[in-house]
Amino acid sequence: MTHPSDTGPAPVLALKDISKSFGAVRALRNVSLELFPGEVHALAGENGAGKSTLIKTLAGVHRPDAGQVLLDGEPVVFHGPKDARDAGIAVIYQEPTLFPDLSIAENIFMGRRPRRALGRIDHRATREATAGLMRRLGVDLDPDRPARGLSIADQQIVEIAKALSFDARVLIMDEPTAALTGSEVARLFGVVRTLRDQGAAVLFISHRLEEIFEICRRVTTLRDGAWIASELLDGMTEDDLVRRMVGRDLDELYPKQDVTPGEVALRVRRLTREGVFTDVSFEVRRGEIVGLAGLVGAGRTEVARAVFGIDRWDAGEVEVDGRKLTNGAPSTAMAAGLALVPEDRRAQGLVMDMSIERNIGLTGLRTTVKAGLMNRGAERSRSLDWAVKLQVKYARIADAVSTLSGGNQQKVVLAKWLATGPKVLIVDEPTRGIDVGTKAEVHRLLSHLAADGVAVLMISSDLPEVLGMADRVLVMHEGRLTAEIPRSDATEETVMAAATGRAA
C-alpha cells in the first residue's frame, strides 16, 4: 500500500495492510493508517465503511485477519482491550459502554482506581479525580450518581471523561460528538486541542464534516472497507472529502421543498408531565416540517415520548387528525397515524438480535396479516421494499440488525416507521450517526414526505439541520416551550438565545 508519508516525527501507532472479515462481510481490506503525536487525524467514510471496525482493531477488541499493528514502529499483538490500554491507547467507542449500576466515578476509574494500602480502593480520591475531570469538561455531573438514567449526551460526556482520565498517548474517538450540542462540542474540542499540544495522537471520527475541518490536520478515507486516501486537510473542501467518501458528487444537503401547510395534523395542548416538562402547546400542519430545538436535557425527547404514549402525561391533551389520543398508549397513537423514530436506536429503535426483515415488520404486525395469521410474503416484500428504498447496506435481509453499522441501523429504524405510512412523523435525532450521503437522503425523504402531506416534527441537536429543514422552529428551555420562530427569522443566534433562556 502506498500513501503519503510525512517527514515529521515517527508515528506512535500505525496499521499496516489490515484486513478483517465477519463471516462473509469483509469489513476491512488492506487498510493502512499512521497516527502522529501532536496531531488530530480524521477517519472519514460512509456508514458501514469500516471505521468502527478499524478502531476496534486498534483497541484490541478485534484481532485482524491479516496485517500488522505497529506501536512506535514495533509490531504488537493486542490480545484484548487491556493490552491496548496498557500501551497507552484510550478509546471512546461509538456506543456508550457504561455500567448502569455503578456510579459515574466508578465508571470512569473502573479497573484502575486509586489505591490505598493493601490494594484497597481509595473512594475519596476516585471521587475527587472525577470531579476534577468534570470541571475540565465544564459539566456538572455528580460523581456519585449511578450511570443509569443518564441521557445519551451525559453518557457520552462520561465516556469522554473516562478517555481523558487515562492521560493516554493515543486518544481514539468514534463519533464522540454525535449526541452533543454546539457548546459541549466546543468545550470538547478545547480539551482535545490541549491534549494535542501536549503531544498526544488523536484519531477522530465524525459525520459532521465541519467538525473534521475544524479540528483535524489529516484525514484518512475509507470506502466499503477499502483504504481510499490519507492526506492533509489543508486545501481540501468539504466536497472533495465527500467525493472521496462516496465516490461521486452529492446533491444539495438540505433540499427543503416549499409547501403550503394544510390543516392541523398534530395538536398538543397544555401538555405537562410533572417535573419533566410543563405546559407545552404546539401544532404541526400537514406538509409542514417543524423543528424542535433546545439544549441537551431541555426535555424535547420527553415531550415526544409522552405524545407518542410511551410515558403518561399528567395534564393536557394530544390530537392527531382531530382524534384525541389515549394517555400512555402507543398502539392507539400508531392507529391514529403517529410514528416516532426514537433517539436511542439500540434500545428503543431496534430489537438488536432480530433480523432486518422482522425489525421493519414489527410496525406492520397489524397490516401484514391474513385471516389473523402472519402473511410472511407480505411482510418480506414490505421490509425489502423499504430497506431498498432507504439504501440500507446489508448482506441478507434475514441477518440480525446487530451486524449492521451504526448508520445502517438508523436507516432500518427509519424504514420501520416510514413503512407504516404515518400522517404525523416525529423524528428524534434522525440523522445522528448517519453519513453525509445518507443524511441528504434522509433530508430529501423527510422533505418528500412533507410534500406528500405528512406532518413532520423534527427534534435535532444539529442546528444547521434544523435551520435548513424546518418551516418553523420551536425552542425548548428547561421543560418549557420558550419560542416559536418562523423559517425566515430562524438563525443560529435567535434559536440559541431562546434555547439558553436569554430571549424574553
Partner 1 sequence: MTVTAPNPASATEAPKTGGSRLVDRVFKMRELAILIVFLVMIAVTQAGNSEFLSQQGIKDLLLNATILVLVATGQSLVVITRNVDLSVGSTLGITAFAAGTYLHGGGNPAVAIVLAVLLGVAFGLLNGLLVSLGQVPALVVTLGTLYIIRGIDSIWVGSRQITAADLPGSFVDFGSGGVWAVPYLALIALVVLVGTAYCLKNFSSGRELYALGSNPEAARLAGIPVRKRILAAYTFCGALAGLAGALYLARFGNVDSGTGNGYELTVVSAVVVGGVVFTGGSGSVYGAALGALLLTSINSVLPALGVSSVWVLAINGILLLLAIAVDRIVALRVASALKKRNARHA
Partner 2 sequence: MPESLTRAVRWDTVVGALLIVVLLFSFGFVDGFGNALNLSFLIGNTLPIALIALPMTLLVVSGEIDLSVASTAGLSGAVMGALWNQGMAIETIIPLCLVLGAVCGLVNGLLVTRLGLPSLAVTIGTLAAYRGIAQIVLGSDAVTDFPSQYLDFAAGRVGDSFLPQAFLPFLVLLVLAVVALHATPFGRSLFAIGAGEEAARFAGIRVKRNKLILFTATGFMSALTGVFWALHYASARYDNATGLELSVVASVLLGGIDFDGGKGTLGGAIAGVFLLGTLQNVMSLLNVSAQSQIVVTGVLLVVSVLGPRAARQIAVARAGRRAAAARTPTATP
Ligand X SMILES: Nc1ncnc2c1ncn2[C@@H]1O[C@H](COP(=O)(O)OP(=O)(O)OP(=O)(O)O)[C@@H](O)[C@H]1O
Q: Which residues bind partner 2 (CB under 8 A)?
A: 21-26, 65, 224-225, 310, 330-331, 333-334, 340, 342, 347-355, 358, 361-363, 365-366, 369, 372-374, 384, 387-388, 392-400, 403, 416
- For the chain, the maximum distance between any two Cα atoms, rounded to a whole number of angstroms, is 73
**By CB under 6 A, what part of segment 235-294 binds ligand X?**
294
Q: Provide the β-strand partners of residue 43.
A: 205, 220
Compute CA 137 distance to the chain's CA centroid, rounded to the nearest angstrom.
20
Q: How many residues does the chain have?
A: 504
Residue 403 binds which entry of partner 1, Mg ion, ligand X, none, with Cβ cut-offs from 5 to 8 Å by kind? ligand X
Choose the binding region for partner 1 from 116-124, 248-256, 447-455, 461-469 (rule: CB under 8 A).
116-124
Of 97 and 331, CB closest to partner 1: 97
Query: Of 32, 33, 35, 50, which lies in the binding site for ligand X, with binding defined by CB under 6 A?
Result: 50
293 binds, among Mg ion, partner 1, ligand X, none (CB under 5 to 8 A by kind): none
Q: Is position 42 an interface residue for ligand X (rule: CB under 6 A)?
A: no
Selected binder of partner 1 within 25, 70, 76, 146 (CB under 8 A)? 146
Contact of residue 11 among partner 2, Mg ion, ligand X, none (CB under 5-8 Å per partner type)? none
Find out whether 295 and 487 touch, Cβ atoms under 8 Å.
no
Give the count of beta carbons closer than 10 Å to the beta carbon of residue 116.
11
Is 167 exposed, middle or buried, given 0-12, 13-18 or 19+ CB atoms closer than 10 A?
exposed
Residue pair 310/343 in contact (Cβ under 8 Å)? The answer is no
User: Which residues between 470 and 499 bind partner 1 (CB under 8 A)?
Assistant: 478-479
Q: Does 94 bind Mg ion (CB under 5 A)?
A: yes
Q: Is residue 184 part of the contact set for partner 1 (CB under 8 A)?
A: yes
298 touches ligand X by CB under 6 A: yes
Cα of 200 vs its chain's centroid, Å = 25
In the beta sheet, which residues pair with residue 283? 267
Site for partner 1 in 70-89 (CB under 8 A): 80-82, 85
Pick 187 or 243: Cβ nearer partner 1 = 187
Give the binding range for partner 1 (CB under 8 A) out of 142-150, 263-271, 379-387, 421-429.
Answer: 142-150
Task: Considering the complex, state which of residue 215 and residue 222 has its C-beta at the smaller distance from partner 2.
Answer: 222
CA distance 198 to 38: 7
Which H or E element spans position 474? strand 472-477
Give the SS3 label for residue 488.
Answer: helix
In DSSP notation, 348-379 reads II--TTSBHHHHHHGGGTTTSEETTEE-HHHH
Q: What one-character-per-residue DSSP string does 155-171 give?
A: HHHHHHHHHHHT--SEE
Q: Name which position in 14, 92, 164, 296 contacts ligand X (CB under 6 A).
A: 296
Site string for ligand X, 70-109 (x = CB under 6 A): ------------------------x---------------
Nearer to partner 1, 146 or 255 (CB): 146
Contacts of 481 (CB under 8 A, 6+ apart): 279, 280, 281, 282, 474, 475
Q: How far is CA 359 from CA 337, 377, 383, in A?
A: 19, 15, 8
379 belongs to the binding site for Mg ion (CB under 5 A): no
Among 156, 177, 405, 431, binds ligand X (CB under 6 A): 405
Contact call for residue 145 and partner 1 (CB under 8 A): yes
Reading across the β-sheet that carries 39-44, which strands appear in turn?
74-76, 66-71, 13-22, 25-35, 226-232, 218-223, 39-44, 201-205, 170-174, 89-92
Which of 139, 335, 351, 362 lies at the binding interface for partner 1 (CB under 8 A)?
139
Answer for which of 138, 328, 330, 453 binds partner 1 (CB under 8 A) is 138
Angle in degrees, 0-180, between the axes of helices 152-165 and 123-137, rounded to the nearest 10 = 110
The reply to whether 426 sits near ligand X by the rule CB under 6 A is no
DSSP states along 381-397: HHHHHHHHHTT---S-T
Nearer to partner 1 among residue 82 and residue 448 (C-beta): 82
Q: Which of 32, 53, 130, 383 binds ligand X (CB under 6 A)?
A: 53
CA 248 to each of CA 240, 245, 363, 404, 487: distance values in angstroms, whole numbers, following the listed order: 10, 8, 34, 23, 31
Cell numbers at residue 57, please?
482493531
- Which residue lies nearer to partner 1 by CB, 98 or 436? 98
- For residue 143, state whether it binds ligand X (rule: CB under 6 A): no
Among 154, 428, 429, 441, binds partner 1 (CB under 8 A): 154
Residue located via cell numbers 418551516: 471
Instruction: Kindly state the helix (H) or strand (E) to which residue 342 belongs, with its residue range.
Output: none
Binds ligand X by CB under 6 A, chosen from 12, 18, 27, 467? 27
Q: Does 144 bind partner 1 (CB under 8 A)?
A: yes
19 burial via Cβ count (<10 Å: 0-12, 13-18, 19+): middle
C-alpha distance from residue 370 to each of 40, 106, 331, 379, 476 (Å): 57, 53, 20, 11, 44
Q: How many CB atoms lie within 10 A of CB 148?
A: 10
Within 283-302, the residues that bind partner 1 by CB under 8 A are 295-297
Using the rule CB under 8 A, is 131 a contact of partner 1? yes
Residues in touch with partner 1 (CB under 8 A): 59, 61, 80-82, 85, 91, 93, 97-102, 106, 110-113, 115, 119-121, 127-128, 131, 134-135, 138-146, 149-151, 153-154, 157, 183-184, 274-276, 295-297, 478-479, 500
Return residues touching Mg ion (CB under 5 A): 52, 94, 301, 343, 406
**Applying CB under 6 A, which residues contact ligand X?**
22, 25, 27, 45, 47-53, 94, 149, 151-153, 294, 296-302, 343, 403-407, 433, 435, 461
